[in-house]
Amino acid sequence: MDYKVIKKDISKLKVKPNLFDYEEVYKNFKWEDVAKNFEGLPNGGLNIAHEAIDKHANGPLADKTALIWIGKNSQREEYTYKDIKRESNKFANILKDLGFEKGERIFMYSPRVPYLYITAIGIFKNRCVMSPLFAQFGPEPVAQRMVSGNAKGLITTKHLYEKKILQIIDQLKELKYIFLIDVDEDINDKVLSLPKLMKNASEEFEIPPTDPEDMSLLHFTSGTTGKPKGVIHVHKAIYTHWVTGFYVLDFHEDDIFWCTADPGWVTGTSYSIISPWLHGITNVVYEGEFDAQKWLEILQNEKVTIWYTAPTAIRRFIRYGIEPKKEYDLSNLRHALSVGEPLNPEGVIWGVEKLGIPIHDTWWQTETGGIMIANYPSMDIKAGSMGKPIPGVEANIFIRDDNSIKEAKTEESGNLMLKKGWPSMMRGYLHMEEKYQKSFVDEWYDSEDIAYKDEDGYFWFVGRNKDIIKTSGHMVGTYEVESALMEHPAVAEVGVIGKPDPIAGEIVKAFVALKKGYEPSKNLEKELIALGRKKLGAAIAPKEIEFIDSLPKTRSGKIMRRLLKAKELGLPLGDTSTLEK
């Protein structure tokens, strides 16, 4: 195989990795052993809020900074674990006093402000279910998710309430109360001022007994195809959040961690709220959207040690030709990771060349609840690979035929599946039991991603099942074509689709966005086609190249290939609620 290996010299790492010997840890790992890292509730059970906040607030970490919040206008606030315990207790009491009961869904529709993180913990404390929405959703996607999720409460801003929620309020039949985070007085008896309520709320709250299998989170899939599905997660998911924080993100007690994901996506709750606080470290949150210079300032000024971001951000840095180490002091940054879409090899190499450390790709889904396959600080990276499964997770490649599966051979592409039983596995699709059951075959969860496993046990992404292109009898993964074209020095981003063809069935067409300083031309088009043929072979190389200014992406950074295909074929665009504006 044609790939670059990033060799690791553990003796030169700034901190000894928690996962020092992957094979030994993987072989001896038992999920039940993870329980010793949790305190448990005094009255019994397991609750996310207690393990992430109260345990630390009641002990030696009480005055440690839990949250550094940076506003879009450069405001800066710090909250200790003791602060978050106190404020989340207040919100838990508000919910209890207003009659919110165990299992009722409370939706969060807000920018990344401190109240978003404080109320999330309060929701867990009252044993309600947190269901986050991205703040830039329009009225219809919000209504679709809230109606489907039987919304009983909503936390939002005055602006979003007036501009979006009032348009759909008649559809929200089950809604009890709306909490506005930025008004001083109630609008009416159902639309309440959260600051006013918080002023009068008690600072003392005892978390009721919580079963580890009680529902804690309801995350909706992005809806790139069909109706968004409500994915159910439970309090016991923190076993996975703890393990992946320890082994993959490599949390140590003095770390300052920044996950750039919004809590509207599962990464933003699992790894911008839960996982870092389980480990008692300092968590950075930035309210604003992507801004290359601002992001680098945050990495420098906050002395971030671990950075978890998305391939789309890495590709933007590449496209803009930014030299981070030349312009900023990033000497504290020791570990960088990526999530959302597979990271092309060029992104991994960019990290080595421009940051001084490689970017470690990770793979997981809303349905898995946490990282499942990853590259680790102590392990050599095969650039472009997903890495290896986390301890406690068994992954394999199968050829699926309806309701039967056959194990694939080494380097044979097939469905990437995970053996049932990891703690953060989804417990269902809300109101969609049949769909949920179809996700499993013979005790294996089918991710519907196509991948293969090499002779060393590394997994390699090929493409989403629905994105596989069939051309002249060949099965072509979008990712391998995109990665090949990304090797050209002019290319910043690539999106590949299959275009119907009367002879080949489909041909491969690539949409290409160029780096700053490069212009589209016939010669460049020929160079890219030639590069594709050289790297992939004439049979599966792209036959057409189209230059575009930017690729359509979801707000979580995934390229929306179906939109490229719909525009190419003149088809309806479908659900665009998650499209990056």
Q: Model confidence over 391-449: pLDDT tens digits?
A: 999 999 999 887 789 999 999 999 999 999 999 999 999 999 999 999 999 999 999 89
Domain boundary among 426, 453, 480: 453
pLDDT higher than threshold 70 for residue 573: no
Which band of pLDDT confidence, cut at 50, 70 and 90, is reported for residue 136? Answer: confident
Domain count within the chain:
2
In a shared domain, residues 489 and 402: no
In a shared domain, residues 91 and 238: yes
- To the nearest 10 degrees (0 to 180), the angle between helices 522-536 and 478-485 is 120
Residue (of 36, 422, 444) closest to 236 by Cα position: 422
- Residue 460 resides in a domain: no
Instruction: Quote the CA–CA distance of 551 and 554 in Å, as a whole number.
Output: 10
- To the nearest 10 degrees (0 to 180), the angle between helices 311-320 and 292-301 is 110
Give me the domain span that covers residue 518. 468-569
Q: What is the dihedral of CA 47, 439, 391, 218, to 10 degrees?
A: -20
pLDDT of residue 226: 56
- Residue 475 resides in a domain: yes
pLDDT higher than threshold 90 for residue 311: no
User: Nearest 5 degrees, angle CA 500-CA 548-CA 139?
Assistant: 90
Residues contacting 336, CB < 8 A, separation 6+? 306, 307, 308, 309, 351, 355, 357, 358, 359, 360
In a shared domain, residues 350 and 483: no
Look at residue 96 and give its three-state secondary structure.
helix
In a shared domain, residues 401 and 509: no
pLDDT in tens, 174-201: 999 999 999 999 999 999 999 999 999 9
Cβ-contact 296, 304 below 8 angstroms: no
- Residue 578 resides in a domain: no
Lowest-pLDDT range, 127-141, 523-537, 557-571?
A: 557-571
Which band of pLDDT confidence, cut at 50, 70 and 90, is reported for residue 472? Answer: low
In a shared domain, residues 117 and 237: yes
> What DSSP character marks residue 477?
-
Place of tokens 């999330």: 120
- Residue 47 resides in a domain: yes
Q: 3-state SS of the chain: helix, strand, coil percent to 5?
A: 30, 25, 40
Which band of pLDDT confidence, cut at 50, 70 and 90, is reported for residue 224? Answer: very low
In a shared domain, residues 430 and 512: no
pLDDT higher than threshold 70 for residue 558: yes
- As given in the structure block, the two tokens for residue 363 are 């793979």
Give a three-class secondary structure readout of 367-388.
CCCCCCEECCCCCCEECCCCEE
pLDDT in tens, 533-546: 887 777 678 999 99
In a shared domain, residues 559 and 500: yes
In a shared domain, residues 427 and 555: no
Query: DSSP strand E in 175-264: where?
Result: 177-180, 191-193, 215-220, 230-234, 256-259
Instruction: Quote the CA–CA distance of 483 and 311 in Å, as a whole number.
Output: 12
CATH code (residue 501): 3.30.300.30
For 291-320, what is the mean pLDDT? Answer: 93
pLDDT in tens, 82-113: 999 999 999 999 999 999 999 999 999 999 99
In a shared domain, residues 436 and 498: no
CA 474 to chain CA centroid, Å, is 32
- Residue 173 resides in a domain: yes
H helix intervals, 302-407: 311-320, 324-327, 345-350
In a shared domain, residues 431 and 475: no
Q: What is the dihedral of CA 108, 112, 114, 117, to 10 degrees?
A: 50
CATH code (residue 141): 3.40.50.12780
Cβ-contact 61, 418 below 8 angstroms: no
For 108-134, what is the mean pLDDT? Answer: 97
Instruction: Quote the CA–CA distance of 511 and 497 in Å, as a whole number.
Output: 8
| Mean pLDDT estimate for the chain | 92
User: Nearest 5 degrees, angle CA 113-CA 117-CA 123?
Assistant: 135
In a shared domain, residues 482 and 449: no
- Residue 98 resides in a domain: yes
Domain boundary among 421, 453, 485: 453
Which band of pLDDT confidence, cut at 50, 70 and 90, is reported for residue 225? Answer: very low
pLDDT of residue 553: 79
Query: Residue 254: how many CB atoms within 10 A of its CB?
Result: 10
- Residue 75 resides in a domain: yes
For 272-291, what is the mean pLDDT? Answer: 97
Query: Residue 503: how many CB atoms within 10 A of its CB?
Result: 7
In a shared domain, residues 179 and 96: yes
Cβ-contact 28, 392 below 8 angstroms: no
Domain boundary among 408, 423, 453: 453
- As given in the structure block, the two tokens for residue 209 are 């007994």
- Residue 100 resides in a domain: yes
pLDDT of residue 93: 98
